[in-house]
Amino acid sequence: MSTPAVEITGLVKRYGSKTAVDGLDLKMDRGRLLALLGPNGAGKTTTVEICEGFLRPDAGTVRVLGLDPARDGAALKPRIGVMPQGGGAYPGVRAGEMLGLVAACAADPLDPAWLLDVLGLTAARRTPFKRLSGGQQQRLSLACALVGRPELVFLDEPTAGMDPQARRLVWDLLGALRADGVSVLLTTHLMEEAEALADDVVIVDGGRVIAEGTPSALTAEDGDAAQLRFKARAGLDTALLSAALPEGYQVEELVAGSYRVLGRVDPQVVSTVTSWCAQQGVLAEELHVGRRDLEEVFLELTGRELRS
């Protein structure tokens, strides 16, 4: 068995009195795409920067491709690709030049022209970095992370600030990388991104792992039955609505204005909920019958929204 791509045990990192990472454990096998999903400030960037060797942990052990990033940086750096949050480059350097420079440092680089094409940057190859749009800068930064054919890539919020079309290009490229057996660890606070791409999702909050598994295992529920959820104004009388439903059904307000009906969903239940709301003069919005999504998993675990 090969060593895991990443193995973290009991990781702690403090900034003064602030504990950014608080006893985090994570194991990622080779060839997987793992999404570290959590709200702003959850400790994702700090964790990734420790894996990349840019920050030292206060406690715990971190192994990346079997190496200690703090001690074995010289051996590790040629084997990993890094896309930091916000990217960065000399402002005057042209997009094509920048990628060419990074490629020149690699032993067996990918063809920079091909990468520019795949990421929709060919037309911008002579544009100075500072004149690229935010999304183009992000894509160039991703190209720089990938051009050296790394075994493992760390991508910190790779699609932040991109329009949907650019995001799709990046998702396609990440899918292709994964198919090629490259290990990918990305951070995101976008539930759709984690759901669309990840083999494994690790949900972090307050510097700790609060749930982990494949997207389908995380979103599975008791008996895997579909549930009815809806949004409406906060503070509906859930006891009254529960009483309107057949015996055994219960309605709960997960977080202000977000409701879930506990019990098997059938057409009669949907009809009862909507007509009860109508009687109260309440518009039931985002009525949804189905499995929960990762956003709802986070909500149920923390009582807060992922985007809050």
Ligand X SMILES: Nc1ncnc2c1ncn2[C@@H]1O[C@H](COP(=O)(O)OP(=O)(O)OP(=O)(O)O)[C@@H](O)[C@H]1O
- Residues in contact with ligand X by CB under 6 A are 15, 18, 20, 38, 40-46, 85, 189
Phi, psi of 26 (to 5 degrees): -160, 140
Residue whose C-alpha is closest to residue 275's, from 305, 306, 230: 230
Nearer to ligand X, 46 or 258 (CB): 46
- Residue 26: beta bridge partners? 8
Closer to ligand X by Cβ: residue 51 or 121: 51
Please, which residue, 44 or 292, has the CB nearer to ligand X?
A: 44
Minimum distance of ligand X from residue 198's CB (angstroms): 16
Q: Tell me whether residue 42 or residue 211 sits nearer to ligand X (CB atom).
A: 42
Coil, strand or helix at 220:
coil
The CA-based angle 125-117-31, given to 5 degrees, is: 120
Nearest approach in angstroms of CB 183 to ligand X is 20
**Choice between 41 and 100, CB closer to ligand X:** 41
Of 242, 237, 245, give the one whose Cα is nearest residue 269.
245
Q: Which secondary-structure segment (H or E) carries 255?
A: strand 250-255
Q: Is the CB of 43 or the CB of 81 nearer to ligand X? A: 43
Cβ-based neighbour number of residue 20 at 10 Å: 21
CB of 38 to ligand X, least distance (A): 5
Work out how close the CB of 41 gets to ligand X at its nearest, in angstroms, rounded to a whole number. Answer: 4
**Distance (Å, whole) CA 36 – CA 186:** 6
CA distance 7 to 161: 30
At its nearest, how many Å lie between ligand X and the CB of residue 85? 6
CB of 278 to ligand X, least distance (A): 40
Distance CA 130, CA 302 (A): 40
Q: Which helix (H) or strand (E) holds 184?
A: strand 183-188
Q: What is the rounded distance in angstroms from the CA atom of residue 114 to the CA atom of residue 149?
A: 13
